[in-house]
Structure formats: structure tokens, C-alpha cells
Structure 1
Amino acid sequence: MADHSMDTFQFVVVGGGIAGVTCVEQLSSDFPSARVALITAASHIKAVTNFKQVFQTLEKFDVEERPSSALQEKFPNVTVIQSAVGGLCADTHTLQTEDGRSVGYDKLCICSGARPKLLTQNQPYVLGVRDTDSVQELQKRLSSAKRIVVVGNGGIALELVFEVGGCEVVWVVKDKAIGNTFFDAGAAHFLIPSLEAQRPARDAVCKRARYTTEEAPDGDLHTFTASGSLRRQGSGPTDTGSALGPDWHEGFLLRGAEQTSQGVRVEYECGVKEIFTSSDHLRPPPESDYGSWPVYVQLTNGKTVGCDFIVSATGVVPNTDAFLPGNDFALAVDGGLRVDEHMMTSEPDVYAAGDVCTAGWEPSPLWQQMRLWTQARQMGWYAGRCMAACVLTQPIELDFCFELFSHITKFFNYKVVILGKFNAQGLGADHELLVRCTKGHEYVKVVLREGKMVGAVLIGETDLEETFENLILNQMDLTPYKDELLNPNIDIEDYFD
């Protein structure tokens, strides 16, 4: 029998991902004797470990999956309720869980994350990758696969195509270049050789030039296009698991059925028109690429590709469904719960953090929201502090981490640091780019506006992140130094000491 009595907590947090767990940890350390509940549908939570503040806004950490009991052991005032949320009545400050419990709260923080936007529902040959369960399913299916089709151009797709071996990968990308959530065409051009089996030999530093062109002809390193798309992509078959952490593929052997690596074929500027199996009567005329496969993908460029299965990594949708009925939440254009500069939603005493929410404040000119690990941690931590400040009636200012967008990650075995308006987001034609590229070694791009640095992309061991972070934050006029800024023979750190 379900217990229908009401259990009330001072703080309730929904979601066992990075944002939710960080929020609970922050609240528990601020209020060690307050009753705090974490409601999560999964049996495991995601915890931040090895956290390191690298510079002023740049941070690095690992993500570990742990049993939810670990949280209760660390914080005795925390109760973990393992169930999905069935509904919320914001007026009465009550949550219903799917297993029939009523949970009351003084303050609530919704950190329910985002769910995958799958190419198609209920298609057994389409697999999403978002949480640990879906990676295990991917691993299982890969072991007998000879060819897979990966659809999507964000972080998960980028990592996946690089990690998968022993089968052919056809990568369907809607843009002119790979990874345009994070990169421009020049960076994509730099990374492409890593997808081929033989790593290229290092070349000398190529001549630097300034680029302000908006369009990128195929394969041309010397023109750049700004990306309008801001989304951490990921996708999965279940709604229960939290999204994967950085380096999620470590510890998983992603091998296909073939003995040797079969390489990656990229189909640019196209999408999926139709997915069908050999038993369907939709078959278009056979092509040389056809063969006998379990499933076929007809692309918008007219090609049809047969494969063993399809990986859908085409973005996420904020997970708000359980909270909207009967309440009056303001939503952003992308479907996220709109939050103000104190992470508050439009409903009283209800906060939100991480992928489920959308920043509704006037952002700093150097920051933008992207649904990434770093921001889930920052928002969860800051939401916890805002809830505490409200209870203690203390003023709180928007945290410094929202001053400058910064993210460290790894793609194709290269360290990648992105700062500020790294793809000239929202700058229109009013910017110039400086680029330095050493094939197989490093790629450095700087975005300048009116002589001041407003963004940067650093791929490889460049050691420039601290200097560039400072130059962006202090908005120094770099016009006199422009020609020397990326000169490899000048030690730039000493220059601006």
C-alpha cells in the first residue's frame, strides 16, 4: 500500500543529475539541520568529484555515478525519495510522486534536466544516447554491427564518432561543418584528420590572417561562419537516467563487429527524410550503397544508406511536463522554465536550475546559456545559495560565473577551451577573427570587437586560456598588439603580466 500521508520538508529538489545534487549539497551545508529531500526517478545520482577552479571562471571536474544512499550518508539531513514526479500544485506547495506520495515543501528547486529529442518515436532501430543505460544498450548493439548512422552535430555526436571502432560510421550533419555547436568551419577543418585512421604529421604554423567573412565554402580554412545554434546535444530512450558526464565514453568499449577500423563518412548539409526496413513497401530504387541491411535511412540529399541501427543525437527538450498542468509557469521560447537572476520561476517559492530552465535575465555581453555540465553545476550551486539567501533574508548578487561563458572539454583527444562569444554569437558582421593553426597540434581563434577580445576557441595544449580569460574579462583595447597577439614566437603571458 502506498503511504498517502503528507511529508513536509523545508527544501525539496527534484532531479538526481548534476544540478539537483549540487543544489542539495549546497543547501545541506548551509542548513545542516534543515529537512532536505531529493526526489529522483533513478537509483543512482550524479556527483561532481575532483572539482578544480582552474582560473576565475574556468572550472574542471569529473562526474561520478553513485548510489543515492551515498548522499544520505554524507548529509544525514537529506532524504532521497526514489520516484518520478506525478504532478505539482504550486498553490498548496505540494508535489505528488508517481508512487502515490504527497511531499510538501517551503522551497522547491526543479532540476529535472532535459529529455532527448529522438528522430522518431517507437522505432526499434533508432537509439538515443543520453544516460548510462543507453550507452550500455549502444555497446551491446555495436558488438554485432558493421555500419551505423549517427545523426546530430553536438557534443555527444562528436564524441561518439571518434570513439566508435570496428564498424563503418556514416555521420549525418545538418551543417556545412562538423560540431558547429562548439566550432566554426576552421576548427572543424583542423579536427577532421583525427577521424581518419592515420594521424597527419605536424606541419609548420600556417600564416595568420584576419577573417571577417560570414560564409564558409567547403573545406576552405580561411573563412568562418558564426553558429546560431546553442545546445548541448544528447538523446536517449529513457526519461529516468540523468544525462552523461564529461568523458562518459571512458570505461565503455565501443567496438563494432569488424576487426579493423572502418572510418567515418560525413554527409554534410542534410537530414533524415525517411527511415524504413526491408519489410516496408516504401523502398526507393536500390543504389550501389544499398545491400541487405536491417534498416535504411533516406537522406534529404537523395542518398539512401543501409545500416544496422541509427544513433539519434539531435538535441534535447527541457523536461517540464510533470510540472506544468494546473500551474502558471512562464516558459521561454525553447520550452524551458524561465528563471530570473535569482533562479526563481514565475511561481512563488519555486526555483529551477540546469537543463530544465532558461535564463530570463539580461545576460552579460560575454555569457550565453548552453546546456552543458559546467552550467548545470553552476546553476545548481547558485540556486541553492539563492534559496538560502531568501530564507535568511540576505541580499545576493548574480554570481561571477555568469559574467563570462567558459567551458573546458575534450574532443578527438584534444583539449578544447571555449570562452565568451567563441563563435561570434550575436555579433553580426561587427567583429574580426584572428586565427593560428598548426596542423595536428593546435588551433587558436580569437574574436575581437572594437579592438577588444570577446571570445576564443583553443584546441590543443595552447596554455593560453588564463591570459585570454583575463583579456576578455578586463576588456583591454588590444588594437596596438593585434599583429603580435597570436605570434607563436612571443610569450603572450609575459606580454600582459
Structure 2
Amino acid sequence: MGAQPTFVIVGAGLAGAKAAESLRTEGFKGRILLFGEEPERPYERPALSKSFLQGLSERAKIYVHSRQWYADHDIELHTSTRVAAIDRPGRQVQLAGGERITYDKLLLATGASPRELPDAGSHSVYYLRRIEDCLQLRFAFTTARRVAIIGGGWIGLEVAAAARAANVEVVLLERGEVPLLRLLGRDTADVFARLHRAHGVDLRTGAHLRHIITNADGRATGVQLDDGSRVEADLVVVGVGALPNISLAEEAGLLVDNGVKVDEHLRTSDPDIFAAGDVANAFHPMLGRHIRIEHWFNALSQPAVAARSMMGLEASYDEVPYFYSDQYQLGMEYSGHVGPGGYDQVIFRGDKDALEFVVFWLKDHKVLAGMNVNIWDVTEAIKDLVRSGLKVDGAKLADAAIPLPDVLADAAGNNGRH
């Protein structure tokens, strides 16, 4: 690569910033260019639907690094700059303004964008992805009487909690039988449905949107459902999932499939191009298949592996998937990965009614995932159970008096691994 190689990072979010940091930590002495389309320097997104949306955290705390940090580490940060194309044969990226920059290694950390509704062009229809979205929505909460939220996923539920904290009436519209049903299963998903209803949310399930209602000025005034009912609202928030930003990779001829497809080293189908964060559909050694996870932990943890791989050092990404959520008085952490119908047993330990419990999803007596609700300092023990691949004693797993490390030690002693 020469004495002073150039590494280019496309996407100045958490993943891009942590990749730049990891390159310097690992001793990379070459040139690092970090390009982001937003005017902001890299920041973390979870607070945008949680504490920052509620005005409980300061703006300064969501940034990954101070502005000076980039200069101190000789990282060329270019905000408000769009990379328009990748020239793989020439190993160059082309900026929207036409400038071309040659790279030795390239990292795609382009993230994901909210899935938009086809008729949601009104200026009082909100999506939540960027700081500016959050600030606009937070301001809207100060004057709104009622908000209609389309989608009962994590974003929709967290926005509902923030709206109720601002004393705004909430109508939450979920297509399924209950929010989070596909991810959590009926018993656990019902916990979240009851929680929101207890806080005054008008949760309507089986609700299929026909269109958003707008007035003569183009402002949303509510939504029309397929059953003919109308929901009046001062503003509408759409949270119906996200799509990976793959256009740059796709146009460059990289292998894409629900994101940019990468191996466990986070290398794409081009050996000089890597991907990390929300956009990466990565092979996971523990699971034995590719998965793409749109959560903070991936954007935080994958870049260190990508950085080492870009430098030619040995590294593979095999962290147990993890995410968290805060809603009202409920805080939870989820560790592991299990698809709908991918488990044959659900085990609770603790008090579900008091919102202090851990729930596990198992298949063939092996823990695939666990979620702790208002019980802390057990995440690593849950991850150890998931990692182990051991058959566990369900009765002991359900017994809150038996520490989780002891459950694992018992499983190991019984030689439960196939």
C-alpha cells in the first residue's frame, strides 16, 4: 500500500467515527478521510428517541467525539459532503461536487434510512433518524394535543413514551396483533402493550393505514384506516422500519442482499472495501449465517474489527447481538438473536407483573436469547449462556434464587453441548 496509505470512510455516524478511532488506536499512520452527508459531526442516535427527545439529556452528550478530537488525531472530517460514486477499478470515490479521491482501503458505514410511506409528504409528518428530526418533533410536542404514531416497533414505542411524558395524547397504530409480536412472542410482547395502555396510550392493533389525511395547506390532520375509521391528530409520526443505504455499494457492483454482504472480517466482495454498522449484512460465526442488525451496539463494536481487517490484521466479528430500550419506568436489554418461530420454549424468571424479570428464548434446551427487564448486571451472564451452546436445566433457569453463572456451570458439568 505504500508508505502513507489513504483510508476513506463513507458515513460519519457512530460506526464511521469509531472506525477512525480504532484505526488510530491500532497504530495506523496513514491518511484517514471521513465523509458524512449531515452537517453535524458524528453522533449517537439512541437518545434521539429516548432521553434527548424528552429533553433529559444535553445535545453535547450525544456526540461521539469533540470537534477538536478529529484535528488532534489527524482525521479529515468532511461534513455536508456526499460521496456520489465508487470507482472500484480506479480505487477512487467521487464526491457529489465531482472531486475524486484515491483510496487504498474503503469502509462503507452508510447506515440506514427510515422506510417512508408513499403518501406521507406533509410537513407535519415526522420520521425520526437525525438530530434535526428529533429537535423538530420535540418542539412539535410542546404545542400538539394528539399524535398518531404509525408502527409499534421500538421507535414507535419509544416515541409514544416521550409524547406521553410531554402530556401529548397518543394513538399508536400497529398492524399486528400486538407490538413486537414477531420479535418477542405473545407473552413478552403483551408486557409492552399493557405498559403503554397503563400510561394512557390508545393502542390500536390490527390497524391498517389507508392514507394520511391533510388539509388544504398540506398539513397532516390525522389518518384514515382501512376499516373506515379516522384518527384525528395534530401530527403524525411514522416508524415502520428502516432500509439499509446500499445504493452506493449496489451501483459499484458490490454484493448486496439486505444490506452490503460482508464476511466475518467485515470485508465485502471487493477485498479493498469493507462495511460496518446498520448497512452491513455480516456473516456471524456463532450463528453460522449472515445477519444485519440495526442497533447501536453493532455500530459501536463492528468498526474495531473493520479497522483491523483494513490494516491486514486478524479480526472477526462474533459479538453476541445486543440492544436496549427505555420506556417509562421500564428499562430492558436484549442479548442474542432468534427469529420468529426460531425457538420452542420461553422461560421467565422473576416477577413479570412487577416488571422485574428476565425472559429466555430456547431451542432444544439451549438459550438463544435473553432479555432482562429492570434487572441489571446480568447481561454478560446472559451472553455467556447464549455463547455456550449448552443445554440448560429449565427449572434452574427459571429459579431467580440460582445465579445465572451457576446455571451455566451446571450445564457445563452435565456436558450439555452436542
TM-score (norm 2): 0.83
SS at match of 2:359: strand
* C-alpha distance in 2 between matches for 1:496 and 1:95: 49
Judging changes above 3 Å, is the alpha-carbon distance between structure 1 residues 462 and 68 closer, same or farther for their aligned structure 2 residues? Answer: closer
Judging changes above 3 Å, is the alpha-carbon distance between structure 1 residues 88 and 469 closer, same or farther for their aligned structure 2 residues? Answer: closer
Structure 2 residue 301 is the aligned partner of structure 1 residue 378: yes
The residue identity in structure 2 corresponding to 1:435 is F
Judging changes above 3 Å, is the alpha-carbon distance between structure 1 residues 496 and 445 closer, same or farther for their aligned structure 2 residues? Answer: same
8 Å CA contact 2:15–2:302 kept in 1: the answer is yes
Report what 2:24 is aligned to.
28
* C-alpha distance in 2 between matches for 1:346 and 1:373: 25
Residues 52-75 of structure 1 deviation map (CA, whole Å, 9 limit, x = unaligned): xxxxxxxxxx97226773342330
Judging changes above 3 Å, is the alpha-carbon distance between structure 1 residues 192 and 308 closer, same or farther for their aligned structure 2 residues? Answer: same
Report what 1:307 is aligned to.
233
Q: Identify the match of residue 465 of structure 1 among 374, 379, 382.
A: 379
SS at match of 1:12: strand
Higher helix share: 2
Report what 2:172 is aligned to.
171
Judging changes above 3 Å, is the alpha-carbon distance between structure 1 residues 444 and 365 closer, same or farther for their aligned structure 2 residues? Answer: farther
Report what 2:394 is aligned to.
482
Aligned residue runs from structure 1 range 40-79, under 5 A: 40-46=36-42, 64-65=62-63, 69-76=67-74, 78-79=75-76
Report what 1:201 is aligned to.
none
C-alpha displacement at 1:383, in angstroms? 0.8
* C-alpha distance in 2 between matches for 1:191 and 1:443: 13
Residues 96-130 of structure 1 deviation map (CA, whole Å, 9 limit, x = unaligned): 21233221111111111111211235322311111
* C-alpha distance in 2 between matches for 1:415 and 1:153: 17
Report what 1:452 is aligned to.
366
8 Å CA contact 2:325–2:331 kept in 1: the answer is yes
SS at match of 2:240: coil
8 Å CA contact 1:464–1:493 kept in 2: the answer is no
8 Å CA contact 2:246–2:256 kept in 1: the answer is no
* C-alpha distance in 2 between matches for 1:274 and 1:408: 32
* C-alpha distance in 2 between matches for 1:67 and 1:25: 9
8 Å CA contact 1:328–1:347 kept in 2: the answer is no
Aligned residue runs from structure 1 range 34-433, under 5 A: 34-46=30-42, 64-65=62-63, 69-76=67-74, 78-82=75-79, 83-120=81-118, 121-164=120-163, 165-180=166-181, 182-196=183-197, 263-279=200-216, 295-325=221-251, 327-332=252-257, 334=258, 336-360=259-283, 364=287, 368-389=291-312, 394=313, 396-401=314-319, 404-421=320-337, 424-425=338-339, 428=342, 431-433=344-346
* C-alpha distance in 2 between matches for 1:294 and 1:477: 53
* C-alpha distance in 2 between matches for 1:482 and 1:452: 9
C-alpha displacement at 1:18, in angstroms? 1.0
8 Å CA contact 2:196–2:203 kept in 1: the answer is no
Judging changes above 3 Å, is the alpha-carbon distance between structure 1 residues 350 and 145 closer, same or farther for their aligned structure 2 residues? Answer: same
Report what 2:54 is aligned to.
none
8 Å CA contact 2:145–2:234 kept in 1: the answer is yes
Judging changes above 3 Å, is the alpha-carbon distance between structure 1 residues 99 and 362 closer, same or farther for their aligned structure 2 residues? Answer: same
C-alpha displacement at 1:462, in angstroms? 5.5
Report what 1:223 is aligned to.
none
SS at match of 1:141: helix
SS at match of 2:395: coil
* C-alpha distance in 2 between matches for 1:305 and 1:70: 48
Instruction: Determine which structure has greater relative contact order: mean sequence separation of CA pairs < 8 Å that are 6+ residues apart, divided by chain length.
Output: 1
* C-alpha distance in 1 between matches for 2:134 and 2:21: 27
8 Å CA contact 2:308–2:315 kept in 1: the answer is no
8 Å CA contact 1:187–1:443 kept in 2: the answer is no
C-alpha displacement at 1:174, in angstroms? 1.6
The residue identity in structure 1 corresponding to 2:170 is V
C-alpha displacement at 1:309, in angstroms? 1.5
Count of aligned pairs: 386
The residue identity in structure 1 corresponding to 2:387 is L
SS at match of 2:159: helix
In structure 2, the gaps of 5 or more residues are 45-59, 410-418
The residue identity in structure 1 corresponding to 2:317 is D
* C-alpha distance in 2 between matches for 1:468 and 1:271: 37
The residue identity in structure 2 corresponding to 1:349 is D
The residue identity in structure 1 corresponding to 2:278 is D
8 Å CA contact 1:9–1:37 kept in 2: the answer is no
Residues 24-81 of structure 1 deviation map (CA, whole Å, 9 limit, x = unaligned): 1111222442111111122323357xxxxxxxxxxxxx972267733423302x1122
Report what 1:205 is aligned to.
none
C-alpha displacement at 1:301, in angstroms? 3.4
TM-score (norm 1): 0.70
Judging changes above 3 Å, is the alpha-carbon distance between structure 1 residues 11 and 462 closer, same or farther for their aligned structure 2 residues? Answer: closer
* C-alpha distance in 2 between matches for 1:89 and 1:494: 54
8 Å CA contact 2:177–2:205 kept in 1: the answer is yes
SS at match of 2:155: helix
C-alpha displacement at 1:455, in angstroms? 2.0
* C-alpha distance in 2 between matches for 1:102 and 1:149: 45
C-alpha displacement at 1:472, in angstroms? 2.5
Query: What is the root-mean-square deviation in Å for CA atoms of aligned residues?
Result: 2.9
Judging changes above 3 Å, is the alpha-carbon distance between structure 1 residues 490 and 350 closer, same or farther for their aligned structure 2 residues? Answer: closer
* C-alpha distance in 2 between matches for 1:305 and 1:102: 50
